[in-house]
Chain A
């Protein structure tokens, strides 16, 4: 495994379901990010974890709940989502010192029915 991986790659869920997205990075980074990308919209930063602490939460609805158990893993727990939450959810990682390049995972394509 290399780089940043995400599972599942595709997810279809009903509005009453609970699901989780998983991200794992194999780059030795110490910061991880969740982004949302909707069709024809720019990347929206949702959450930032630096050294396993949540340092940014950009007014994301509480139906999205992140979890970072260690510096290599990041989860996004989903519950009672709305159809407008359908989007590509991207995980990224970087170093918090020195260079700041972020590397993205392949994303999870989420459809809420």
Chain B
């Protein structure tokens, strides 16, 4: 069974702080990893994806992947109240297959207070 685990939170950080969101996955063969942001009542929005071990930075967001530990994280620097949302981790366990099926975690609720 392919599982994606996230701490459901809620995670609460002050404005300007670094928010750290974590995700572990069970399928060691997983190849691609995604972070989605979902505001209340809205659909998930893709914000980051990462395929290789190490860090990937995009603006205030950094995704970190450690395949040996089966661990992927999302760091949000200089957190803003507008970052308050649920963050979903998703994993493609097949990598290179012809089906882009993703397994989603339950999400971590982040609140950034002013």
Q: Is A31's CB under 8 angstroms from B100's CB?
A: yes
Number of A-B contacts defined by CB within 8 Å: 52
Q: Is B98's CB under 8 angstroms from A107's CB?
A: no
Q: Is B101's CB under 8 angstroms from A48's CB?
A: yes
- A42-B104, A43-B104, A48-B99 known; A101 vs B88 contact (CB < 8 Å): no
Q: Is B14 an interface residue (CB 8 A)?
A: no
- Name which residue of chain A comes closest to B31, CB basis: A100
Within 8 Å CB of A45, what residues of B?
Answer: 101
- A43-B88, A100-B92 known; A95 vs B100 contact (CB < 8 Å): yes
- A42-B104, A42-B106, A99-B49 known; A105 vs B99 contact (CB < 8 Å): no
- A42-B106, A99-B32 known; A56 vs B46 contact (CB < 8 Å): no
Within 8 Å CB of B32, what residues of A?
Answer: 99-100
Q: Is B101's CB under 8 angstroms from A106's CB?
A: no
Q: How large is the interface on B (under 10, 10 to 19, 20 to 34, 35 or more residues)?
A: 20 to 34
Q: Is A97's CB under 8 angstroms from B104's CB?
A: no
Those of B30-54 within 8 Å (CB) of chain A: 32, 34, 36, 42-46, 49
Within 8 Å CB of A31, what residues of B?
Answer: 99-100
Q: Is A71 an interface residue (CB 8 A)?
A: no
Which of B43, B45, B100 contacts A96 (CB under 8 A)? B100
Q: Is B42's CB under 8 angstroms from A106's CB?
A: yes
- A sample of 30 cross-chain residue pairs with beta-carbon separation below 8 angstroms, ordered by A number, consists of A31-B99, A42-B104, A42-B105, A42-B107, A43-B44, A43-B88, A45-B101, A48-B99, A50-B99, A55-B99, A56-B101, A88-B43, A90-B43, A94-B100, A95-B100, A96-B98, A96-B99, A97-B98, A99-B49, A100-B32, A100-B92, A100-B102, A102-B46, A102-B100, A104-B36, A104-B43, A104-B44, A106-B42, A107-B42, A107-B43
